[in-house]
Chains A and B, each alone.
Chain A
Amino acid sequence: MNVMNRVLDQYNSKVYKNRKEHMVGVNNNENNNEIAANVRTIPGIISQRGCCYAGCKGVVLGPIKDAFIITHGPIGCAFYSWGTRRHKAKKDEGVANYLQYCFSTDLQEPDIVFGGEKKLKQAIVEAMELFRPSTIMICSTCPVGLIGDDIHAVAKWAEKEYEIKCIAFSCEGYKGVSQSAGHHIANNQLVRYVIGEGDRKITNKFSVNLLGEYNIGGDGWETERLLKRIGYEVVSTFTGNSSMDDLKNSHQANLSLVQCHRSINYIAELIETKYGIPWMKVNFIGVDATIETLRNVARYFGDSELTARTEEVIADELDSIQEDMEYYKSKLKGKSAAIYVGGSRAHHYQFLLNDLGVHTILAGYEFGHREEYEGREVIPFVKPDADSKNIESITVEPDPEKYHVYLSEEDLKRLKEEKLIDYYGGMVKDMKDGTYMVDDLNHYETEEFLKLLKPDIFFSGIKDKYVAQKSGILSKQLHSYDYSGPYSCFRGAVNFARDITMGIYTPAWSYVKSPWKTAPVLSGSLGGEAVC
């Protein structure tokens, strides 16, 4: 029996049928590697997935430093998403930074019974009197949708009353099937109410947006440093270390770089339609991947000086890390890894692991869609279901004033055909035969796959980290980098390699088995027979 069947075999028939569709033996199946993704988790199955609110407030909006985000609901949701995601942000002159704060309407029973709009309005009054933010965002939690509070009307009222920007996000936790729905809702509103409003002067034609980079552990800063070194101007980052003003000006860039495809692809596409900016899927995780990305971006801009500078910087950055990387590779070569995380990282980190001679034997996403596994070519074949239909898809028209093109129509067409822009190929093409893709890898399957595949490292999140470690397998969190980082680009690769190496070689692993479990018992006489 193969590994997948051995895992599935213990399920009852209903669960078996469902979960079978979420597992693929790469290039070892009759379905062209088709995988079920972005569908409901079966109740009772211990999934690691979060909710719509987590995707909207936690992932996409949370990092915006000067957005005053009021979580409208009982206290829990605001509390859990307070400072827990490591999206770092520096304080800039003249720009507020509310990331150390947590704001909630802390709804109480009477609010649930009689409606919470009044309290939300009062919370905005108090926010204005105490903090005077220029942007307020309202994020709904589960009960708000059920009691029917019109948060959008409250947002309109606040805009009028205080002449500020106030945007409402109906991201109740029960919407969609995972965090993914929340990304979409956040994307929609940012396109509707934020992007395109800025008029900052951008003079550098090598201007890019960095989409889907949340600056976890400082990744965005490292990527930005590298891009700037080559000569790019990063107009906006969605949304790590970003200000509202950065986001408002994103329509002025000449290319959008998409790091996390899942959480931000809607914005990438919508701003292309509306403002003419193509997007390119990039990957700044891994040394070779970063080099390829930098070369691709240079190709897009097609400037010989920029290309030369790109090569210069690559050579210099490589030079500065080579010795370290070789050392770590000597320590890690031949190890194996399983990765279960997010909607992009399970793909990205395979490149960095490859750099270090670590092969990935299993990978899966928590909230990825089929295109993150199989590539965007499957999008036309993805059937919408009841859950995905409930999430609004917005359409936009070209903006007559702000639409701009950098490339000629011909070049654009060529690059599209070459799949250099507007394309993402998904993880499966980068995975070796005989490896596994598992979507929404649940607790039980994690345990079983770890037992059967015995990887040396399991990359995952906090909820299953200690499950793996109790069973003797090193586990590193790839959501929060186990409080380390940055892991992006050249220098980040060294940080990552250092962290993995210390994890594998930490001496405590050798003490897991007590010596008396294996040592023969010698008959002692100390203490005599009275000792039992």
Chain B
Amino acid sequence: MLDYTKKEAYERSALRVNPAKTCQPVGAMYAALGVHECMPHSHGSQGCCAFHRMYLTRHFKDPAMASSSSFTEGASVFGGGTNLKTAAKNIFDIYNPKIIAVHTTCLSETIGDDLNALIQGIDIPEGKYMVHTNTPSYKGSHITGFSNMVASFISYLSVSTGKRNGKAALLPGFVNPGDMRELKRIAGIMGINHTMLPDTSGVMDSPMTGTFEMYPKGGTTVEEIIHLGDSSYAFGFGKMASEAPLETLLKKCQVPYKLLGLPIGIGRTDEYIMSLQDYTGNAVPYSLEEERGQLVDILIDIHTYTYNKKVAIFGDPDTVLSLAEFVLEMGMIPKYLVTGTPGEAFEKEAKALFAKFGVKDCRAKASGDLYELHQWIKEEGVDLLIGGTHGKYIARAEDIPFVRAGFPIIDRYIHSYMPLVGYKGGMRLAELISNALMDRQDRDAAEEDFEMVM
């Protein structure tokens, strides 16, 4: 398993090996799936759209519907304007969405298609919408693409009438529908009227009914996005995924915002709830206090299995940072943090986190990859690995317990229905982590040390 990965450090400047990121358009496609009656549209050759749909379907085990401009060599030379025009007509004709959300690809970006101009030249049926975002695959990552798409929905559609509607805008970041449901549930408990953008709950975790729905019940409606401009306040989760759309909403519609870390674990969920309390003036109800207490109770119960255990975490920047804070709360040491997504903020925030909890000799890297993470692990091992499916090879090679969390998870089921965020998500994660560590203890125990009670 991964036999050619060497322990010795080696500086690479060109060869990416086993990436911990993918390209922008898949993030934009995911964001657009969180808008009700929206057709995500990939402006490029059809392989991009096929790859993205494949990947999203494999992660969510639910249909990921999206269309493509199906560029050929001719379009790549002469521009994709005609393709987009034909595509728009056919999409409205055949699939009848309320809105088409176009994202670009490295192909259409390299040839320089001007999407603003192209869309203006398209005959959009009455009551329908067409928006776009630029998602050059050679910049940022899928998280950037997600962020860009959300920002573009706002900049195209949200309008401020000058009258605040008393609602909060919730920008969940690149998380699963299970997380989105949990974020909304908490806001609901806090008595907050809210609109979440995007909202893939009900879309990418849609129930089995015996009928396929092209546009399932879930998703933020276009009207809700328009009215987002009248929100009284906005909360966004995760700097990389949500800061740009929050800024867009502020600049376009003067909606003040608070940027929060993805609320994984106690501290970050506390922060979310305190922010909601500050915003509403409502006291935190007992039900949330109870959940929090349960989580704390659990962490104390399991501490003997988690305390001082070293963890390597990889994945998307917002997710990794929040997972890191949670494992710190569990008394674990986040020895290595890696994201493939570029951006200095990641390393800076990671260092602040290490300092806050007083842990030493921990490393964090943005623009990293799994080859390098594996090298670090070979140099000094860890007790647990947390991340998406791709980590299973390292886990097997080094015989490390592995907990799947984040995106993409393409070798397991159900994960997208279950939250990582909130106290409930914390309980689930604590269970996953302690089970992984305790299963390992059981597996490795000598017969005489194999215990009935643990």
Contact = CB atoms under 8 A, between A and B. Distances in A.
Interface of A: 10-12, 15, 40-54, 70, 73-84, 91, 96-98, 100-109, 111-112, 119-123, 125-127, 129-131, 141-143, 145-147, 172-178, 386-387, 390, 443-444, 447, 461-472, 512-513
B117 interface: no
B18 interface: yes
A464 B105 CA distance: 23
B354 to A, nearest CB: 27
B377 to A, nearest CB: 15
Contacts of A103: 15-17
A466 B61 contact: yes
Contacts of B371: 101
A307 B134 CA distance: 63
A47 B106 contact: no
10 contacts: A11-B93, A46-B65, A74-B138, A101-B4, A109-B136, A142-B44, A142-B110, A146-B111, A174-B45, A470-B208
Interface in B54-110: 54-55, 57-58, 61-76, 83-84, 86-91, 93-95, 105-107, 109-110
A147 B106 CA distance: 11
A512 to B, nearest CB: 5
Nearest to A83: B390
Contacts of A444: 94-95
A71 to B, nearest CB: 9
Nearest to B142: A76
B304 to A, nearest CB: 35
B16 A49 contact: no
A36 to B, nearest CB: 16
A120 B14 contact: yes
Contacts of B136: 74, 109, 112
B286 interface: no
B51 A101 contact: no
B75 A15 contact: no
Given A54-B50, A109-B136, A463-B57, A143 B106 contact: yes
A122 B13 contact: yes
B53 interface: yes
A358 to B, nearest CB: 22
B209 to A, nearest CB: 7
Contact of B65 (A143, A443, A465): A443
A48 B64 CA distance: 12
A76 B61 contact: no
B450 to A, nearest CB: 32
Interface stretch (B20-28, B243-251, B358-366): B20-28
Interface stretch (B166-174, B191-199, B210-218, B268-276): B210-218
Nearest to B44: A142
Contact of B15 (A80, A81, A122): A122
Contacts of B340: 75
Contacts of A443: 65
A11 to B, nearest CB: 7
B14 A119 contact: yes
Given A51-B46, A106-B16, A173-B47, 18 more contacts: A12-B90, A15-B90, A42-B70, A45-B70, A45-B90, A80-B54, A81-B51, A91-B3, A102-B16, A105-B14, A109-B136, A111-B138, A142-B107, A173-B45, A177-B72, A386-B73, A462-B54, A463-B54
Nearest to A179: B47
Nearest to B54: A462
A466 B63 contact: yes
B110 A147 contact: yes
Contact of A42 (B15, B90, B109, B208): B90
A512 B138 CA distance: 44
B137 interface: yes
B23 A74 contact: yes
B440 interface: no
B206 interface: yes
Contact of A130 (B10, B13, B22, B52): B10
A142 B38 CA distance: 27
A388 to B, nearest CB: 11
A465 B1 contact: no
A375 to B, nearest CB: 27
A105 B94 contact: no
Given A53-B47, A107-B138, A43 B111 contact: no
Contact of B88 (A44, A143, A146, A467): A44
Contact of B66 (A43, A46, A172, A447): A46
A74 B106 contact: yes
Given A51-B50, A142-B44, A174-B76, A101 B65 contact: no
**Most B Cβ at <10 Å: residue of A77, A91, A125:** A77
Contacts of A177: 72
**Most A Cβ at <10 Å: residue of B13, B76, B111, B211:** B76
A75 B16 contact: yes
A143 B110 contact: yes
B110 A80 contact: no
A51 B106 CA distance: 14
B70 A470 contact: no
A81 B340 CA distance: 17
A463 B74 CA distance: 27
Contact of B106 (A141, A447, A470): A141
A105 B16 contact: yes
Contact of B68 (A47, A53, A390, A466): A47
Contact of B12 (A82, A126, A386): A126
Nearest to B84: A43
B6 interface: yes
A50 B50 contact: yes
A471 B14 CA distance: 47
Contacts of A75: 16, 19, 21-23, 137, 141, 340
A512 B47 contact: no
Contacts of A44: 41, 67-70, 86-91, 94
B258 interface: no
Contacts of A387: 72-73
Given A74-B23, A80-B55, A513-B210, A43 B48 contact: no
**Most A Cβ at <10 Å: residue of B14, B52, B69:** B14
Contacts of A129: 10
A84 B4 contact: no
B305 interface: no
Given A103-B15, A143-B138, A51 B53 contact: no
Contacts of A112: 106, 110, 136, 138
B48 A51 contact: yes
B14 A126 contact: yes
Interface string B352-375: 000000000000000000010000
Given A142-B105, A466-B57, A43 B50 contact: no
Contact of B75 (A45, A123, A174, A466): A174
B14 A122 contact: yes
Contacts of A102: 16-19
B414 interface: no
Interface string B128-167: 0000000011110100000000000000000000000000
Interface in B264-288: none
B189 interface: no
Nearest to B138: A74
Contacts of A104: 15-16, 19
Contacts of B19: 75, 78-79, 82, 102, 104, 106
A301 to B, nearest CB: 39
Contacts of A49: 46-47, 50
A387 B4 CA distance: 40
A472 B210 contact: yes
A56 to B, nearest CB: 11
**Most B Cβ at <10 Å: residue of A45, A79, A123:** A79
B394 to A, nearest CB: 10
Contacts of A54: 47, 50-51
B393 interface: yes
Nearest to B216: A470
B2 interface: yes
